[in-house]
Structure 1
């Protein structure tokens, strides 16, 4: 069983003399493309997106100008090529971020089975997903810090601490969040790393970009972040307007693997099936055709059956029956529509499902992400939902996630800069721990009971759920639960106190179970506190009903829920132990 161990003492936001002056770098670690934005806490109003990337020929800082860089890797002769350095020919590592969370069923969607990428290396080929993610993030970090050397005086670079923010999908598991953190730390992004949900970051930016006069308390918005690989959705209801815009989650996030890359894959199959029998056919024809489709055709398509698009197929012999003439292939709007519709239908279904899940009157659907800017997708969403619901595409939609992540990170360090705040979120699962309880014949099975010598009564081990699915949670306050452990003095003092954290995903909303011995109750983390430094004489001793002396340890578990991670602490006699760790399984 794979375990990811996180030292919880490293998860605390610094509060020292340097906190008023930091460089904050946000990373939108995407499935197909990634983006970076940065700002200084001394100048939070000046926020920049990096648009300079090295390519295969220059290897420097300014090879390609783009708002984002491909999330791709290739290892050649001991060298790690990344982003635009990976050319269009040959195999490469793609989509490796998704392998951090194999539990997501969306990773084996019908689209990914039907239309595999012919150039993608299989998962785990020559390198683990953790190594691929670490190498990619390390390359992204090094490039970003090189760019900053040309944007800021060297004195600021030398004297200003850097903090990173990284984004993850809304439906990322706790284990995947921990793996993402571990990869980012190994890539040199530091231990005071913030992790933020992608659609939440996008929503913060999109709501900030809207006309404030058009927003009223009670308005509900669905945010659709449609990217290259994944489509993530989340919904918010406006709770307050002043002094800042506060929103509460209206429904838990949803998502699926149905992004715009599948358009390219379907097109590739289409062009191969259509033209591969041409006697001059070769691999370069596919690459040139796909480039044109990706950069021009799929952006220009509006849904009209009478539209026509020219696809370059250099070198192919003229074939009027196939629409090939002078190295060009004429493609009809009807053909393009057939390519779009399988992907668009999945996105539309997600949007409709999210609207239904809010159980509220939705004012608007906000479309962000690269695919979210597509005109045909926008119109198909519009016709598929209630006409009273607006479909909007905020400005800078492709970089909405990284811009919102930077805004969120700045507000953590400089609260005066906060303009949009997620006041509460809806818990994705039930979270709890197993405790020892007094046997109750009305709810416990008799065969699970046992006699407790200390209390002199029947006891059972059952679940204490400190948060239930759908409950509102906020990062402004911690959830605290009190527990105790008992053992005989004759057994000697214990060196540690440990507590297992369990989670339960309730797909049918039948309520959390009483016992942990169910298929859907899973072990999430183990908290361990080192108590060896406490003198034995300070441990509480009590006499049990059986006349023997027992050590009794009273402690608390403190849980704080953030955008895309949960922080745990074990507190004993008002001391929060820095040695507490969480093992994610």
Structure 2
């Protein structure tokens, strides 16, 4: 395993906590070394690379562009990754061209966006419709024949992959099965009288199929519509993009809006292949748009409008706000890969022995407090400050936040005290507690003080 480089693709709509949880799961599975990796696991020493799925698809698109698509600087590409449970979209603008064709570097135009939805939601609608048609279906599968649902699911996957649109229908043969008899009995008990032949098969009309597919496809089209203006190329990938009906509706909706619509023959593989390409070309993504505002929990001098329950008197007799957010990047700002933001802090109390570095996020552009609505603690770590305590509040800690990567990295460096001048807390680690708050701040640990 020492020569294996693991790359895990995740939906773009996942937040930082979900990405970190995936990293922890990879360690627990013994894939990569880390604090959660079993001691006896033959794990890879190479760091796990988390890759956003629509970005992987974008890299795949550039591979294809080098072969049969002419692109130019400033062209915008909308990538829609329509998978089983999520619909992820990103818009990239080409900022650098490869000599052999295609983009060698792109930037995000708007923050990646999306919604839950896709193939598994279509499956759920199918079974809901079956239960509407056969009133005893769920009870029969649960109490009499659990395997029937599995068999019907297998049949449905074939029908889902073949459905072309209005005009197509399908039948599931029940024959003289137990479900056929149970269905007939159920209808009789509820005053429904039908011919015996009706219970020999489950019939799905084209209207039934459309009622199953259309809500999810309409969702996909609506999400694409939000950012399709000024886009030259539309790329649709993901498992559900293999649906002929989805392909038809995408082409019908946007063929006169964009110059090129690309839906690969095997759209599910595009992400896997693109992920490998993206790992090999780490400079492909130049910058992203921050979805959220990120900052550090800190204290500062009191200001007009500060909530009374956040105001306290420090050990020098000064009024301070204990729940302020020190902003590093704001929602909607462009953040360049590999670039970092640094802010210096000092202890908020005399003789402080440790400092909690707590990362908060907010969907608002100008949040002020960690306690306000929608402010969320993403994670934290502790920096030891037990050395050179005599320097008191003159001790300086530099906190660095690295944005743009698929994970947010936060580190802290002792500037003018202590024997260890190495950066600590290389990445925010999320450890779920019983109430869902990772690494909650304890009462013994003072927060940071604005310089």
TM-score (norm 2): 0.75
Tell me if 1:260 matches 2:119: yes
**Partner of 2:41 in structure 1?**
none
**Partner of 1:166 in structure 2?**
8
How far 1:194 sits from its partner (Å)? 1.6
The CA deviation string for residues 504-562 of structure 1, in whole angstroms up to 9 with x for no partner, is 123xxxx3222333122222222322244x4x3xx673xxxxxxxx4421111111124
Paired residue secondary structure (1:518): coil
Paired residue secondary structure (2:110): strand
- Counterparts of 2:233 and 2:220, CA distance in 1: 16
**Partner of 1:517 in structure 2?**
371
Tell me if 1:234 matches 2:90: yes
- Counterparts of 1:524 and 1:430, CA distance in 2: 12
How far 1:385 sits from its partner (Å)? 4.7
- Counterparts of 1:555 and 1:436, CA distance in 2: 14
Counting only pairs closer than 5 Å after superposition, residues 139-158 of structure 1 correspond to structure 2 as: none
**Partner of 1:105 in structure 2?**
none
How far 1:472 sits from its partner (Å)? 0.9
**Partner of 2:164 in structure 1?**
302
Paired residue secondary structure (2:30): coil
- Work out whether residues 289 and 313 of structure 1, in 8 Å CA contact, stay in contact via their aligned partners in 2: no
**Partner of 1:350 in structure 2?**
223
Tell me if 1:430 matches 2:300: no
**Partner of 1:394 in structure 2?**
264
- Counterparts of 1:437 and 1:329, CA distance in 2: 68
- Counterparts of 2:174 and 2:406, CA distance in 1: 45
Paired residue secondary structure (2:6): strand
**Partner of 1:109 in structure 2?**
none
Q: Which has the higher mean CA deviation after the structures are superposed, 281-290 or 374-383?
A: 281-290
Among residues 46, 59, 77, which one is paired with 1:204 in the alignment?
A: 59
**Partner of 1:504 in structure 2?**
362
- Counterparts of 2:234 and 2:382, CA distance in 1: 44
- Work out whether residues 80 and 88 of structure 2, in 8 Å CA contact, stay in contact via their aligned partners in 1: yes
**Partner of 1:184 in structure 2?**
26
- Counterparts of 2:126 and 2:349, CA distance in 1: 67
- Work out whether residues 408 and 427 of structure 2, in 8 Å CA contact, stay in contact via their aligned partners in 1: no
Paired residue secondary structure (1:166): strand
- Counterparts of 1:220 and 1:497, CA distance in 2: 45
Counting only pairs closer than 5 Å after superposition, residues 17-36 of structure 1 correspond to structure 2 as: none
The CA deviation string for residues 171-215 of structure 1, in whole angstroms up to 9 with x for no partner, is 222222222111110000113212122222222223322356422
Counting only pairs closer than 5 Å after superposition, residues 94-113 of structure 1 correspond to structure 2 as: none
- Work out whether residues 288 and 312 of structure 1, in 8 Å CA contact, stay in contact via their aligned partners in 2: no
- Counterparts of 1:566 and 1:471, CA distance in 2: 15
Per the alignment, do residues 288 and 520 of structure 1 end up closer, same or farther by CA in structure 2, a change over 3 Å counting? closer
Paired residue secondary structure (1:225): strand
**Partner of 1:219 in structure 2?**
75
Per the alignment, do residues 208 and 529 of structure 1 end up closer, same or farther by CA in structure 2, a change over 3 Å counting? same
- Work out whether residues 87 and 116 of structure 2, in 8 Å CA contact, stay in contact via their aligned partners in 1: yes
- Work out whether residues 168 and 177 of structure 1, in 8 Å CA contact, stay in contact via their aligned partners in 2: yes
Counting only pairs closer than 5 Å after superposition, residues 455-466 of structure 1 correspond to structure 2 as: 459-461=320-322, 462-466=324-328
Tell me if 1:292 matches 2:155: yes
How far 1:333 sits from its partner (Å)? 2.4
Counting only pairs closer than 5 Å after superposition, residues 409-558 of structure 1 correspond to structure 2 as: 409-412=279-282, 421-439=284-302, 459-461=320-322, 462-485=324-347, 487-488=349-350, 491=351, 494-506=352-364, 511-532=365-386, 534=387, 536=388, 541=391, 550-558=392-400
**Partner of 1:64 in structure 2?**
none
Task: Please provide the CA RMSD for this pair.
Answer: 3.5
Aligned length: 390
Per the alignment, do residues 525 and 330 of structure 1 end up closer, same or farther by CA in structure 2, a change over 3 Å counting? closer
Among residues 374, 377, 387, which one is paired with 2:243 in the alignment?
A: 374
Paired residue secondary structure (2:161): helix
Paired residue secondary structure (1:214): coil
Paired residue secondary structure (2:18): helix
Q: Which runs of 5 or more residues in structure 1 are unaligned? A: 1-156, 413-417, 542-549
* Higher-strand-fraction structure: 1
The CA deviation string for residues 77-111 of structure 1, in whole angstroms up to 9 with x for no partner, is xxxxxxxxxxxxxxxxxxxxxxxxxxxxxxxxxxx
- Counterparts of 2:384 and 2:3, CA distance in 1: 31
TM-score (norm 1): 0.59
Counting only pairs closer than 5 Å after superposition, residues 65-144 of structure 1 correspond to structure 2 as: none
- Work out whether residues 312 and 327 of structure 1, in 8 Å CA contact, stay in contact via their aligned partners in 2: yes
**Partner of 1:577 in structure 2?**
423
Per the alignment, do residues 580 and 530 of structure 1 end up closer, same or farther by CA in structure 2, a change over 3 Å counting? farther
Paired residue secondary structure (1:247): strand
Per the alignment, do residues 345 and 579 of structure 1 end up closer, same or farther by CA in structure 2, a change over 3 Å counting? closer
Paired residue secondary structure (2:114): strand
